[in-house]
Amino acid sequence: MPATFPGQPFFHYAHEQLHVEDCALNTLAEQFGTPLFVYSKAAMLSALAAYQRGFAGRKAQICYAMKANSTLAVLQVFARAGCGFDIVSGGELARVIAAGGDVTKVIFSGVGKTRAEMRLALETGIGCFNVESESEIDVLNEVATAMGLRAPISIRVNPNVDPKTHPYISTGLKGNKFGIAHERTLAVYQHAAALPGLKVVGIDCHIGSQITEVNPYLDAMDRMLDLVETIESHGIAIEHIDFGGGLGIDYQGDTPPQADALWAQLLAKLDARGFGQRKLMIEPGRSLVGNAGVCVTEVLYLKPGEQKNFCIVDAAMNDLPRPAMYQAFHAIVPLDTSAPSAPTALYDVVGPVCESGDWIGRDRSLQVAPGDKVAVMSAGAYCMSMASNYNARGRAAEVLVEGTKASLVRAREAVSDLFASESLVG
Ligand code: LLP
């Protein structure tokens, strides 16, 4: 077992025990039970620092895409570090407020904002709506006009660039539901600029997620700048360019560029085209939290089979939905390597949920026995935020670590919580 993890430098083995910062994960598992998500605050701040270095001396606002992990304590870390937030629902806005975030630094993305969500966002005074369709423009105009306000907007453009990632998380291609077609952009800006309830402030794009190459970003940037030139030549000022999120992380030897290196290239392009001083916004999610977290789970049973051996753990697809949804890879490693309790074997690591799709890792070489605990790595993004109660399973607990200090930031969901809002028919 390697002593360190290239993608997760805040997780390492010391005295044959897996640690996050200065806390042994086995101790946390004993204290808080399993399945348990554990996050490193230093890992989040270090990921953020790479963006901050990249933007040194520039006008830039980092809006954490909180869909990646919207736990209040995680939001608090980013709010205190000066981040804004990219939200996609009224529920996410409420979370930002509960975490002490600055609503003026909130941008509201998503193709299906309701009137109620628009009103809530206007009342609280968010920074910008990233509008995704022509009909949304008209509805937002109506809602804002009725409130006697002007909604700040940016139009999300679909630049038709292939981000070379999993089709479910690719968003900037013509066939995707997101954004306004490149060809329609000018006409839509002209329409929006003439409406009394809207104020055009920016332009926006987001081409996909888990992007590991620089070129799709450079292509999208060129297309966006072409559009900005065209729109401004028609007298509509674009104060900021929002470049979305999408930067990938190392799950399995993936080699995405570092945030500062990516932005060095993008800023060079902005400078070369005369946009170096324009205000920039970005919406990173996964790259800020994905490698800051793990999910600790206990081996319940080993089930040898003719074709497959199964290692059944107490976390499942309701806690870790990414393998089932995207065939995603997460490394799975033991917490304690001091005295392996069993011979090495090849296992499919699966959960207790009654679906064959409930797998967490396939064909993994592990040396484990029932009662041992393993960590599912790179589980900080799109795990807890996508967790469900399928099979009437309460959601896992979450702990935030800072050096030697471990704080329980979400209690394990009790079964009684699951049906607290239900009633029997009288
Ligand atoms: N901005 C917008 C408009 C987005 O739709 C997204 C992600 C982001 C920013 C943040 O992207 P990131 O930096 O995290 O790549 N559940 C999938 C990922 C879905 C991404 C959805 N949109 C997964 O687990 O891989």
- pLDDT tens readout for residues 43-89: 999 999 999 999 999 999 999 999 999 999 999 999 999 999 999 99
Q: Does residue 176 register a pLDDT over 80?
A: no
- At residue 60's C-alpha, the angle toward residues 55 and 63, to 5°, is 110
Q: From the alpha carbon of 166, which atom of ligand 1 is closest?
A: 25
| Ligand 1 near 284 CB (within 6 A) | yes
Q: Which alpha helices (H) appear in 234-339, and where do they start and end?
A: 259-272, 286-289, 322-326
Q: Does residue 172 register a pLDDT over 90?
A: no
| Ligand 1 near 156 CB (within 6 A) | no
pLDDT band for position 1 (cuts 50, 70, 90) = low
Question: How far does residue 209's CA lie from ligand 1's centre (Å)?
Answer: 5
Question: How far does residue 11's CA lie from ligand 1's centre (Å)?
Answer: 24
Return d(Cα 122, Cα 137) in angstroms, integer. 14
pTM above 0.85, yes or no: yes
* 391 contacts: CB under 8 Å, gap ≥ 6: 316, 318, 352, 353, 354
| Ligand 1 near 204 CB (within 6 A) | no
Domains assigned to the chain? 4-40+290-412 (2.40.37.10), 41-289 (3.20.20.10)
pLDDT band for position 205 (cuts 50, 70, 90) = very high
Return d(Cα 141, Cα 210) in angstroms, integer. 34
Residue 175 Cα distances to 47, 134, 217, angstroms: 32, 17, 19
Return d(Cα 239, Cα 234) in angstroms, integer. 15
Return d(Cα 380, Cα 364) in angstroms, integer. 21
Return d(Cα 204, Cα 282) in angstroms, integer. 9
**Site to substitute for ligand 1 among 106, 132, 286, most atoms within 8 A of C-beta:** 286
| Ligand 1 near 245 CB (within 6 A) | yes
Q: Is 302 helix (H, G, I), strand (E, B) or coil?
A: strand
- Cβ atoms < 10 Å from Cβ of 250: 18
Question: How far does residue 343's CA lie from ligand 1's centre (Å)?
Answer: 40
Mean pLDDT of 192-213: 97
Q: From the alpha carbon of 328, which atom of ligand 1 is closest?
A: 25
What token pair was written down for 51?
A: 């963006």
What token pair was written down for 52?
A: 């901050």
| Ligand 1 near 326 CB (within 6 A) | yes
Q: Express each pLDDT in 298-354 by its tens digit.
A: 999 999 989 999 999 999 999 999 999 999 999 999 999 998 778 999 999 999 999
* 418 contacts: CB under 8 Å, gap ≥ 6: 389, 392, 394
Cβ contact 139:116 at 8 Å: no
User: Rounded to the nearest 10 degrees, what angle do helices 259-272 and 215-233 cross at?
Assistant: 40
- Cβ atoms < 10 Å from Cβ of 123: 11
Question: How far does residue 253's CA lie from ligand 1's centre (Å)?
Answer: 20
- Cβ atoms < 10 Å from Cβ of 47: 23
**Bridge partner residues of 247 (DSSP):** 211
Q: From the alpha carbon of 245, which atom of ligand 1 is closest?
A: 13
| Ligand 1 near 86 CB (within 6 A) | yes
C-alpha dihedral sign at 285, 287, 290, 292 = negative
Return d(Cα 294, Cα 375) in angstroms, integer. 6
C-alpha dihedral sign at 354, 357, 359, 363 = positive
How many angstroms from the chain centroid is the CA of residue 227?
28
**Site to substitute for ligand 1 among 209, 212, 317, 388, most atoms within 8 A of C-beta:** 209
| Ligand 1 near 329 CB (within 6 A) | no
* Active-site residue, 128 included: no
- pLDDT for 166: 66
